[in-house]
Chains A and B, each alone.
Chain A
Amino acid sequence: MSTPFFQFDIGLDLFPMLAATLAAVGCGLLGNFLVLRKLSLMGDAISHSVLPGLVIAFLIASTRSPLVMFLGAAIAGVTTVLLVELVKKYARVEPGAAMGVVFSALFALGVLLIERAAVRHIDLDADCVLHGQLETLVWYGAPQKLSELIQFSNLSEVPRQIYVLLSMVVAAFIFVGVFFKELRIAAFDPALSTTQGFNATLLHYLLMIFVSAATVASFEAVGSILVIAMLICPAATARLMTDRLHTQIAMSVVVSIICGIGGYVAATAVPAVFGKDAVNAAGSMSVVAGLILAIAIIGAPKHGLITRIIRRKKLALRIAIDDVLATLYRAEESGQNVTIRSLKQMLIGRSVDSAIAASVRKKMLLQDQSQLSLTQSGRDTASAIVRKHRLWEYYLVENAGFAPDHVHDTAEQLEHLKTQPPAGPSTDPHGKSIP
């Protein structure tokens, strides 16, 4: 690459990019249900274990016809699920170990068979199983203008892999569309689905067949590793971003498209910046998927790391403010004088300084050097908190069977809840009046 930036070339890039994106979208869509059902690793297992099914179908039929391949893959996929159940049942080990046994054994079988196939001069090879052969999709003599591109005669130039991938994506969308309700129930509550007359186990096998089919369709172009990445990463990213299944699915498809196109472009463009040759596009797509996921983990609106830290800090501050005000209220009650220093000693572990600053800002507190006093609005807020505290104490003693000298710490936590305690008398178990 002489130019330091990505230049789209129809002949070089159109079909590989299309194939990569289609593979990503198909896997990304199906992956939603794997991630929700905690079956991500079943996707991993199947994408390893369809290999022998593929090669055996190939050795028997001696053809690369997609139908034969799909049949081989579907049988291998279902066999994997059945074998995992069998190992789980007899060896009584956790599902992960059972999967590990089954898929590594089957993958080893596949690797061995592939060598046989290679002996018979069939162009399958163990390395391209892992990272695909996007480069074989290059279109020699492609038109350079868009107007020349959009012509019916060009349809015959479209490689077989693209058609296979396209049918897989369409089939996956139809499957998810038709069985959306059932898939949703089964994803969250398989038992409910079965009691409502739809067999969750059957649906499970159907899903696994689709995963196998998606794996096979993607194998040739992008390899099995990208299949695993795309089954899990986009769905996991979307799962962090939203709590609605519809939105999650839509998002995962968008993320898949970004991974497909972005990963492909990055594979050429990033090394080009440093004046180097392009790297493997399938690998680069899974890295892009990983980066997007990392961003989601850190910055997702509701479940992201940053939001959670901010939420925790806000809560801590609110509790600290509550505690500062309540402490001052109690001191007023008993006629004591509270300085900032004594407050800090009473409220160890809470950020007293920022709580005081915030309360002063909200005009709930007056600060005169080290002397603190409540304003009227501060007093009202504080009395509401102390009221909650004492009502909770009363509740715990009367209704929860606590001893009066054991309730303070629990009430100290409950007082910060927004929920109001049940009503009670005018004095708490320690004889203090409830404001």
Chain B
Amino acid sequence: MPSASEILQTLTFQSGYNTNLVILGTTLLGLAAGIIGVFALLRKRSLMTDALSHATLPGITVAFLVSTALGVNSKSLPLLLFGAAASGIIGVLCIQAILRFSRLREDAAIGIVLSVFFGAGIVGLSYIQANAASGSAGLNKFIYGQAATMQPPDVLLMGGIAVAAMLATFLFLKEFALVCFNDSFAQVDGWPVSVIDLVMMGLVVLVTVAGLQAVGLILVVAMLIIPAVAARLWTDRLLQLVIIAGLIGAGSGYLGSVISALLPRKPAGAVIVLTCSGIFLFSMIAAPSRGIISATWRRIRLRLQIEADHLFEHAHENAKFVITQVELKELSQFRAWSPAFRWVLIRSILSEGQVVRVSEGFELTRAGANRGAQVSRNHALWEQYLMSYADVAPSHVDWSVDQVEHVLSQELVSELERTLSSRGIMIPQPNESSV
């Protein structure tokens, strides 16, 4: 285990030129991937990106073989990455061709290209291993990635691509948003939709290729998808989405490469992706409004409100002001309340001051009685409306009304009153006076 001071040194860019450069490079990569991933997500191309990254492998091997045959330096990174980009693009074109020329669907087309291209890449790799004089020790790193062994020029190339992709995104943000959200409108409005689409796809290719060395071609897709989906949990605004996704990507690139610099035996790509997944998990649990905690909390609150409504409605309909323990038990059975839920329910209406504890059970306060009257009245109003306007048979309205009565807004209730009374339909009168 590294010591605390070592950890601090790595975190604050004080542990040697190479390590710093790698950390900086993966951070930039994460930033770019996060930003561009948003558009891949919005265009519903997440898994096409996966096929794209898998399809880069045969290009890498072909580039290696061709450059060996031509006597060029076969480990030259730009050349290998160029091959990767070329075959990745061919892969995407194959998906489009399968969709256009056969009756197979997109899911099958993506799976086909992914597996067949990757299989071809494996064939290429094993060919090089068995037959090429220089060996292929360098090529395996593209599969799982090896951030720690990257050389300064490699990092500069990767960082450069990432920064370029990022700048292009901010330059074309408006165009991208337009095509993502309403491409037919953009078409009608005279925008070159297919060109914009191509630019977006091109940026995805660039980032994928840039990320090959750091995270590897199997996991690079994670850097594109996960930050975008995580950001989706936090916001509904595009600009915020882009910024949050970029930050999540950059954060996981930074943390992941720091961790893998400290623990060199750990595969860097997997560490970076797991860091990213950790952030995603946190977002999914804790994000406001969409996260699991807040959604569950909302659901419990709604259920409490609905069941309390039923309790008061029951009291109102039976003209009761005291609910005895026996009655409460019966009601629990009828409404399927667990003892724990009943406990929480009673606590909540006690604290809202709608009932008070008396010797034989609970007595409704004025507020509680009013609530019962209000719910009953809403029920009757909506029932009348359904029977008079929606042609629902009187014997069929009760059940659906039971669900709607809790969510009728004040405006809707007033409108119902107006409409129904103007047509001379009797409105049930609240009998608050009887309380």
Chain A residues at the B interface, C-beta cutoff of 8 Å: 35, 38-41, 43-44, 48, 86-87, 90-94, 96-101, 104-105, 107-109, 111-112, 115, 119, 126-127, 130-131, 225-226, 228-229, 231-233, 236, 239-240, 267, 271, 276-280, 282-287, 289-290, 293, 297, 303, 305
The chain B residue sitting closest to A113, CB to CB, is: B270
Determine the distance from Cα of A267 to Cα of B130 in the docked complex, in whole angstroms.
12
Contact B280 A101 (CB under 8 A): yes
Q: Is B67 an interface residue (CB 8 A)?
A: no
Determine the distance from Cα of A109 to Cα of B295 in the docked complex, in whole angstroms.
28
Shortest Cβ distance from A323 into chain B, in angstroms?
A: 28
- Contacts A/B (CB < 8 Å), 18 sampled: A44-B47, A90-B233, A93-B229, A100-B221, A101-B226, A105-B274, A127-B140, A130-B218, A225-B115, A229-B116, A232-B115, A271-B130, A271-B131, A283-B120, A283-B123, A297-B104, A303-B102, A305-B102
Q: Is B349 an interface residue (CB 8 A)?
A: no
Determine the distance from Cα of A303 to Cα of B232 in the docked complex, in whole angstroms.
40
Shortest Cβ distance from A417 into chain B, in angstroms?
A: 23
Closest 9 CB pairs of A and B: A286-B119, A283-B122, A290-B116, A104-B222, A229-B115, A280-B126, A105-B277, A108-B273, A277-B130
B residues less than 8 Å from A39 (CB atoms): 107
Q: Is B166 an interface residue (CB 8 A)?
A: no
Q: Is B44 an interface residue (CB 8 A)?
A: yes
Question: What per-residue 1/0 map shows which CB atoms of B239-265 lie under 8 Å from chain A?
Answer: 000000000000000000000000001
Contact A105 B226 (CB under 8 A): yes
Q: Contacts A92-B232, A101-B280, A115-B265 given: A232-B144 contact, CB under 8 Å? A: no
Determine the distance from Cα of A166 to Cα of B159 in the docked complex, in whole angstroms.
49
Number of contact residues on B: which range applies? 35 or more
16 other contacts beyond A107-B218, A108-B269, with CB at 8 A cut-off? A40-B110, A44-B50, A90-B291, A97-B44, A104-B226, A105-B276, A105-B277, A112-B266, A232-B108, A233-B116, A239-B103, A277-B127, A283-B121, A289-B116, A289-B119, A303-B103
Contact B232 A40 (CB under 8 A): no
Chain B residues at the A interface, C-beta cutoff of 8 Å: 41, 44, 46-47, 49-50, 98, 101-105, 107-108, 110-112, 114-116, 118-127, 130-131, 140, 143-144, 218-219, 221-222, 225-226, 228-230, 232-233, 265-267, 269-271, 273-274, 276-277, 280, 284, 290-292, 295
Q: Contacts A105-B222, A108-B222, A279-B123 given: A233-B295 contact, CB under 8 Å? A: no
Shortest Cβ distance from B268 into chain A, in angstroms?
A: 10
Contact A240 B112 (CB under 8 A): no
Determine the distance from Cα of A233 to Cα of B219 in the docked complex, in whole angstroms.
23
Contact B123 A297 (CB under 8 A): no
- The listed residue with most A CB atoms (<10 A of its CB), out of B115, B230, B291, is B115
Determine the distance from Cα of A422 to Cα of B123 in the docked complex, in whole angstroms.
62
Contact B108 A236 (CB under 8 A): yes
Determine the distance from Cα of A94 to Cα of B125 in the docked complex, in whole angstroms.
34
Determine the distance from Cα of A142 to Cα of B327 in the docked complex, in whole angstroms.
82
B residues less than 8 Å from A109 (CB atoms): 270, 274, 277
A residues less than 8 Å from B115 (CB atoms): 44, 225-226, 228-229, 232-233, 286, 289-290
Shortest Cβ distance from A102 into chain B, in angstroms?
A: 9
Contact B267 A104 (CB under 8 A): no
B residues less than 8 Å from A119 (CB atoms): 265
Contact B116 A41 (CB under 8 A): no
A residues less than 8 Å from B123 (CB atoms): 267, 279-280, 283-284, 287
B residues less than 8 Å from A104 (CB atoms): 218-219, 221-222, 225-226, 273, 277
Contact B108 A94 (CB under 8 A): no
Determine the distance from Cα of A226 to Cα of B118 in the docked complex, in whole angstroms.
9
Contact B101 A305 (CB under 8 A): yes
Determine the distance from Cα of A289 to Cα of B119 in the docked complex, in whole angstroms.
10
A residues less than 8 Å from B229 (CB atoms): 87, 91, 93, 97-98, 100-101
Contact A232 B280 (CB under 8 A): no
A residues less than 8 Å from B49 (CB atoms): 100
B residues less than 8 Å from A105 (CB atoms): 222, 226, 273-274, 276-277, 280
Determine the distance from Cα of A108 to Cα of B267 in the docked complex, in whole angstroms.
9
Contact B270 A108 (CB under 8 A): yes
Determine the distance from Cα of A293 to Cα of B109 in the docked complex, in whole angstroms.
11
A residues less than 8 Å from B131 (CB atoms): 271, 276-277
Determine the distance from Cα of A332 to Cα of B108 in the docked complex, in whole angstroms.
55
Contact A284 B119 (CB under 8 A): yes
A residues less than 8 Å from B122 (CB atoms): 130-131, 225, 280, 282-283, 286
Contact A226 B274 (CB under 8 A): no
Shortest Cβ distance from A128 into chain B, in angstroms?
A: 11
Q: Contacts A41-B47, A97-B225, A127-B140 given: A287-B116 contact, CB under 8 Å? A: yes
Contact A130 B143 (CB under 8 A): yes
B residues less than 8 Å from A101 (CB atoms): 222, 225-226, 229, 277, 280
Contact A126 B144 (CB under 8 A): yes
CB < 8 Å neighbour of B119 from A97, A107, A225: A225
Shortest Cβ distance from B85 into chain A, in angstroms?
A: 21
Shortest Cβ distance from B336 into chain A, in angstroms?
A: 22
Determine the distance from Cα of A347 to Cα of B354 in the docked complex, in whole angstroms.
83
